[in-house]
Amino acid sequence: MHSLKRPLLLVASLFASLFMCAQTPDSAADRLMQEALKPSSIESNLRGLTDEIGGRVPGTPAMQRAVEWGVQAFKQAGADSVHTEEFAIPNSWSEGATRMTVSATTYAGVDPRISSLRYTTFNVRAVSIAWAPALAPVKHVPVVDVGEGTEADFKKAGDISGKVALVHTTVLKTWADLFAEYTNAPPVIDLAAKGKAKAVAFMATREHDILYRHTNASDGEIDRLPMVLVAREDGERIARLLASGHPVWADLAIPNTLGGPIKAANVVAELKGSEKPDEFVIVGAHLDSWELGTGALDNGCNAALVIDALRTIKASGLKLRRSIRFVLFSGEEEGLMGSHAYAVAHRPELDKAAGVVIYDSGTGKTTGFAVGGRKDVLETAQRLIAPLQQFGVKELKLDMEWGTDHFDFMLEGVPTFVADQEEANYLVNYHAVSDTYDKVDFSQLKKHVAEAAALSYGLANLPDRIGPRLTHDQIEQTMRDTHSDEMFKAEGIWDEWVSGKRGRQK
Nearer to Zn ion, 295 or 368 (CB): 295
Does 299 sit near Zn ion (CB under 5 A)?
yes
CA distance linking residue 503 with residue 498, whole number of Å: 9
Q: What minimum distance in Å lies between the beta carbon of 396 and Zn ion?
A: 22
CA torsion 128-334-404-490 (nearest 10°) is 80
Number of chain residues interacting with Zn ion (CB under 5 A): 3
Q: What minimum distance in Å lies between the beta carbon of 285 and Zn ion?
A: 8
Q: Name which of residues 360 to 399 contact Zn ion (CB under 5 A).
A: 360
Which of the stretches 37-45, 260-268, 298-306, 392-400 binds Zn ion when contact is defined by CB under 5 A? 298-306
- The residue length of the chain stands at 506
Binding-site member from 35, 223, 298, 334 for Zn ion (CB under 5 A): 298
Q: What minimum distance in Å lies between the beta carbon of 358 and Zn ion?
A: 10
CA distance linking residue 69 with residue 47, whole number of Å: 11
Nearer to Zn ion, 299 or 323 (CB): 299
Nearer to Zn ion, 56 or 237 (CB): 56
Instruction: Confirm if 262 and 335 have CB atoms less than 8 A apart.
Output: no
CA distance linking residue 469 with residue 472, whole number of Å: 10
Binding mask 325-364 for Zn ion (x = CB under 5 A): -----------------------------------x----
Nearer to Zn ion, 165 or 427 (CB): 427
Nearer to Zn ion, 273 or 372 (CB): 372
- Give CA separation, 61 vs 64, 143, 298, 432, 445, in Å: 5, 37, 19, 20, 27
Nearer to Zn ion, 33 or 185 (CB): 185
Q: What minimum distance in Å lies between the beta carbon of 404 and Zn ion?
A: 6
Q: What minimum distance in Å lies between the beta carbon of 299 and Zn ion?
A: 4
Q: Say how many CA atoms lie within 13 Å of 337 toward its Cβ.
A: 27
- Cis peptide, bond prior to residue 91, ω within 30 of zero: no
- Give CA separation, 406 vs 117, 203, 371, 412, 476, in Å: 58, 30, 10, 10, 17
Q: What minimum distance in Å lies between the beta carbon of 36 and Zn ion?
A: 22
CA distance linking residue 496 with residue 500, whole number of Å: 6
Longest Cα–Cα distance in the chain: 95
Nearer to Zn ion, 66 or 248 (CB): 66
Does 405 sit near Zn ion (CB under 5 A)?
no
**Residues in contact with 234: Cβ distance below 8 Å, sequence separation at least 6, in sequence order:** 122, 124, 125, 126, 209
Which of the stretches 109-117, 181-189, 218-226, 293-301 binds Zn ion when contact is defined by CB under 5 A? 293-301
Q: What minimum distance in Å lies between the beta carbon of 110 and Zn ion?
A: 49
Phi and psi at residue 106, in whole multiples of 5°?
-135, 165
Instruction: Confirm if 278 and 349 have CB atoms less than 8 A apart.
Output: yes
Nearer to Zn ion, 298 or 451 (CB): 298
Nearer to Zn ion, 270 or 360 (CB): 360
Position 229, amino acid: L
Q: Name which of residues 123 to 162 contact Zn ion (CB under 5 A).
A: none
Query: Strands 395-397 and 366-370, how do they pair?
Result: parallel
Nearer to Zn ion, 132 or 358 (CB): 358
Q: What minimum distance in Å lies between the beta carbon of 431 and Zn ion?
A: 8
Instruction: Confirm if 419 and 369 have CB atoms less than 8 A apart.
Output: yes
Position 2, amino acid: H
CA distance linking residue 277 with residue 78, whole number of Å: 17
Q: What minimum distance in Å lies between the beta carbon of 360 and Zn ion?
A: 4
**Residues in contact with 130: Cβ distance below 8 Å, sequence separation at least 6, in sequence order:** 93, 95, 213, 214, 215, 217, 290, 333
Nearer to Zn ion, 49 or 167 (CB): 49
Q: What minimum distance in Å lies between the beta carbon of 56 and Zn ion?
A: 11
Q: What minimum distance in Å lies between the beta carbon of 201 and Zn ion?
A: 25
Nearer to Zn ion, 287 or 309 (CB): 287
Instruction: Confirm if 286 and 40 have CB atoms less than 8 A apart.
Output: no
Query: Strands 262-271 and 322-329, how do they pair?
Result: antiparallel
Q: What minimum distance in Å lies between the beta carbon of 39 and Zn ion?
A: 27
Does 423 sit near Zn ion (CB under 5 A)?
no
Q: What residues make contact with Zn ion under the rule CB under 5 A?
A: 298-299, 360
